[in-house]
Chains A and B, each alone.
Chain A
Amino acid sequence: MGQSVHYLGLIPLFPLMGAVFIGLLHVFTCKNAKLPEKVYGLLACVGPVLSFVMALKVFFQLKALPVDARFLSHNAFTWFSVGDLHINMGFLADPLSCLMLLFVTLIGSLIHIYSIGYMSGDKNYGKFFAYMNLFLGSMLVLVLGDSPVVMFVGWEGVGLCSYLLISFYSEDTNNVLAGNKAFIVNRIGDLGFVLGMSFLFWGIGASGFDYLSLKANIHHLTPAIALTVCLLLFVGATGKSAQIPLYVWLPDAMAGPTPVSALIHAATMVTAGVYMVARFSFLYAHVELAGDIVAWVGILTALLAAIFGMFQNDIKKVLAYSTVSQLGYMFAGVGVAAYSAGIFHVFTHAFFKALLFLGAGSVIYAMHHEQNIWKMGGLKAKMPKTYLTMVIGALALAGCPPFSGFFSKDEILFSALATGHYGIWAVGLLVACMTAYYTFRMIFVVFHGEPRDQHAFDHAKESPAVMTVPLIILAVGAAFAGFLNMPGVQTVSHWLAPSLTEHHPHASSFVLVFAMATSIVAFLVGIKIAYSKFGKGAAEPVFSGFEKFAYNKFYVDELYNAVIVQPYKAVGSSIWKTIEPNVTDGPVKAVTRLYMMIGTAFKVFQVGYVRIYAIYMIVGLSLMSLFLSQSLN
């Protein structure tokens, strides 16, 4: 059995306490005495770095254990317990969560350091770091939670931080709307998550609702319930990880500061859905249909987002759609039951996408918050470090051997091929080609050719070291992380094996080589087209026809607005303008009216003359006497 270690609970606690502390400092000082930025910067980095150190400790302790007993747990306290429902505030570190833990804390720390430079001069400097720390704490709860309910705490917590950070520049209505959109769309997913948990609980939860007990009892679940649970949980994943049909919030989420886009909306939070599916691999592995649905939704999202990505002009939007697209790959991976491949892509993607976003942030910082790529150009000469690191990131994203993205993406395509999902493989290959195209379109337009805006170009300069050093560290990761799991080595797959219910397909080496070769061809074709169109400078294109349709994202936002948002509002206003006064209040008003009518009818008798009242009295008394005398006889 695994060991119980007390420091597991500390890992999320460090950043959470940092958040509370920085938040209070900010609230109490933002009006009068402003603290120097350095104080906040230092305080903010303490939590993430300490967590990273702890994560390393977890890693080495796990490594020392025998393979089939590799897990550490810590049960902090009974969270709530009613009837059969026992939920502990418990944490679990097994190889899967340990891998997530390592790269989340590492990239989190790097992005905190980067932010010290990027956010300098902002009036809400302290608030920013409080939210960032809160985010990291929630993310660690998500990763370390030992039951779906604890995971859900982190799951919603990261959603909240995402909302807060997207609407960080809250004076602009558009930013706040983007934040609202993110939170509400995520909540739609969360509905699926909560219902999934409910069904799972009534299925097998009574004998323990933590992952280990669930895994042990999974065969008691009836197939229909298992499928329902899988699909409902996947609804949750589509919300958090921006898949069809709930992907719409992620591109808008780029309204937040760039380090936020890098940390939350590229490297960590959005991969939570993939992590969740891998966490539940013991469930998904039993339900093939659910896996197929996951894989197809994933690969179609990848295709759709890649199409959008090819026609965006905003540097962050390009990267945002590429994130959606890569997330689609990951779901395709876990959908075809290649959980380790999916998680490995999460791992490499975190490096190269964080790198690309931070690089983009560096460019935006240098261009004084200009994000349109058609206002840039020729920046290669001015920002050599940023250029170099971004090219490494782009190569990794595009899947150029031997950069990290190549191995992880290839692993997914290979798994699809080896398990007989030829359709998914074919679409995936097409997307790989498109990825190479839009990535290098961006690189060529931004860094090569002639400056398009001479004034901004003249003022552009390389970012300070506090920003470039994290870039370089991430670039190293993006370049070499792939070797950890290259065919034949498979370190990561072996490491993850105890956590995942996975059967590695036995395919011939021909399939392996074929998959690799086609991937490389796809990459070359993509980059070739990009070079021929944009390599030597190009003017801003005018979109028409299909291009315009894709540039406007197939008008999906407008469709959702017309089909869901507007009717919802219309129902809302009709309820209190029409239904409320007429229908639900109707019976009340009817009773009042009835009383009035009866009163009016009886009014006739109230003539007001004493004589007439006397007559009523006499008539009444006479009738009573008559009645009495009759009944006496």
Chain B
Amino acid sequence: MIHSYLYLSIILFCLGIVGVISRRNVFTVFMSIELMLNAANLAFVAFARVHESMDGHVLAMMVMAVAAAEAALALAVVILLHKHKSKLDTNVFSLLKG
């Protein structure tokens, strides 16, 4: 039973990774990251259920809180980015190129 949840979690996580890597729109990348976080949450909750421990729940709640905080910041950053270059293409922001 647990395996199904874990497979779902893995699939979601991989989708997130592919999203981060392949998409160039900042919003899409951000949404992919959220997807990965939720995949992790799913795994936490599943394991918590199996081991009958509250630790997993606690962590999941924690991740959700952090994700909310992060979303607030990230959206602010995205707005600034858009103001700066009028674009949300990640390839435009390559100042760290060596």
Judged by CB atoms under 8 Å, the answer to whether A and B touch is yes
Is B95 part of the binding interface, using a Cβ–Cβ cutoff of 8 Å? yes
Is A618 part of the binding interface, using a Cβ–Cβ cutoff of 8 Å? yes
Enumerate chain B residues within 8 angstroms of A604, measured Cβ to Cβ. Answer: 98
Is B24 within 8 A of A611, CB to CB?
A: yes
Is A606 within 8 A of B20, CB to CB?
A: no
Enumerate chain B residues within 8 angstroms of A608, measured Cβ to Cβ. Answer: 94-98
Q: How far is the CB of B80 from chain A (nearest CB, A)?
A: 15
Enumerate chain B residues within 8 angstroms of A564, measured Cβ to Cβ. Answer: none
Complex Cα gap A610–B17 (Å): 13
User: Which among A602, A605, A609 is the interface contact of B91 at CB below 8 angstroms?
Assistant: A609
Enumerate chain A residues within 8 angstroms of B96, measured Cβ to Cβ. Answer: 606, 608
Chain A interfacial residues counted at CB < 8 A? 13
Enumerate chain B residues within 8 angstroms of A607, measured Cβ to Cβ. Answer: 94, 97-98
Q: Mark B82-98, 1 if CB is under 8 A from A, else 0.
A: 00000000110111111
Complex Cα gap A265–B94 (Å): 82
In chain A between 581 and 622, which residues have their CB closer than 8 angstroms to a CB of chain B? 602-611, 614-615, 618
Is B35 part of the binding interface, using a Cβ–Cβ cutoff of 8 Å? no
Complex Cα gap A604–B17 (Å): 23
Is B94 within 8 A of A609, CB to CB?
A: yes
Complex Cα gap A605–B96 (Å): 11
Is B98 within 8 A of A615, CB to CB?
A: no
Is B98 within 8 A of A606, CB to CB?
A: yes
Enumerate chain B residues within 8 angstroms of A614, measured Cβ to Cβ. Answer: 17, 20-21
Residue of chain A at shortest CB distance from B33: A614
In chain B between 56 and 98, which residues have their CB closer than 8 angstroms to a CB of chain A? 90-91, 93-98
Complex Cα gap A609–B89 (Å): 10
Inter-chain residue pair count (beta carbon < 8 A): 33
Complex Cα gap A611–B94 (Å): 11
Is A611 within 8 A of B20, CB to CB?
A: yes
User: Which among B17, B24, B91, B98 is the interface contact of A603 at CB below 8 angstroms?
Assistant: B98
Complex Cα gap A614–B16 (Å): 12
Complex Cα gap A618–B19 (Å): 13
Residue of chain A at shortest CB distance from B20: A614
Is A609 within 8 A of B17, CB to CB?
A: no
Q: How far is the CB of B22 from chain A (nearest CB, A)?
A: 7
Q: How far is the CB of B77 from chain A (nearest CB, A)?
A: 12
User: Which among A602, A603, A610, A615 is the interface contact of B93 at CB below 8 angstroms?
Assistant: A610
Residue of chain A at shortest CB distance from B22: A611
Is B90 within 8 A of A609, CB to CB?
A: yes
Is B97 within 8 A of A606, CB to CB?
A: yes
Complex Cα gap A618–B21 (Å): 10
Is B12 part of the binding interface, using a Cβ–Cβ cutoff of 8 Å? no
Q: Mark A397-439, 1 if CB is under 8 A from B, else 0.
A: 0000000000000000000000000000000000000000000
Enumerate chain A residues within 8 angstroms of B97, measured Cβ to Cβ. Answer: 606-608
Is B29 part of the binding interface, using a Cβ–Cβ cutoff of 8 Å? yes
Complex Cα gap A602–B21 (Å): 22
User: Which among A605, A606, A610 is the interface contact of B29 at CB below 8 angstroms?
Assistant: A610
Q: How far is the CB of A9 from chain B (nearest CB, A)?
A: 78
Q: How far is the CB of A624 from chain B (nearest CB, A)?
A: 16
Complex Cα gap A607–B17 (Å): 19
Enumerate chain A residues within 8 angstroms of B98, measured Cβ to Cβ. Answer: 602-608
Residue of chain B at shortest CB distance from A607: B97
Is B29 within 8 A of A618, CB to CB?
A: no
Which B positions have Cβ atoms within 8 angstroms of A? 17, 20-22, 24, 29, 90-91, 93-98
Q: 7 shortest A-B CB distances, which residue pairs?
A: A608-B97, A608-B94, A606-B98, A603-B98, A610-B90, A608-B96, A614-B20
12 contacts between A and B (CB under 8 A): A606-B97, A606-B98, A607-B94, A607-B98, A608-B94, A608-B95, A608-B98, A609-B94, A611-B20, A611-B29, A611-B90, A614-B21
